[in-house]
Amino acid sequence: GNSVTQMEGPVTLSEEAFLTINCTYTATGYPSLFWYVQYPGEGLQLLLKATKADDKGSNKGFEATYRKETTSFHLEKGSVQVSDSAVYFCALSDDSSASKIIFGSGTRLSIRP
């Protein structure tokens, strides 16, 4: 079945460091791919998405490229801030109506000042 695997956390970085959180997926067909962020005590927010191969999603300095050949959707940011501390979830939706989203296990990110 469809699944999402993302790197185990926690990840701790210093402010202004480069961030990569790896995510790979298994799916039939052509899923849409997402990154969600969960700040402490809050619900999930959509960070970025890509709906087809080679698409790049971007938001708030974060980027991820839909790589069909490697079945990956790694999240990157060139210079992290303390306010980026949160839990990040990679996810996929395996149909065009987004009726079922499958989440990865989440990666907790902590940024030191």
Partner 1 sequence: GAVVSQHPSRVICKSGTSVKIECRSLDFQATTMFWYRQFPKKSLMLMATSNEGSKATYEQGVEKDKFLINHASLTLSTLTVTSAHPEDSSFYICSARPDLFPYEQYFGPGTRLTVT
Site string for partner 1, 79-98 (x = CB under 8 A): ----------x------xxx
103 binds partner 1 (CB under 8 A): yes
105 near partner 1 (CB under 8 A)? yes
Write out the two tokens for 90: 């990679």
Tokens at 82, concatenated: 């303390």
Per-residue interface string for the shown chain with partner 1, residues 44-63, x marking contact by CB under 8 A: xxx-----------------
Judge whether 100 and 2 are in contact, CB under 8 Å: no
- 30: helix, coil or strand? coil
CB contact at 8 A, 87 and 108: yes
- Residue 3 CB, shortest distance to partner 1, in Å, is 11
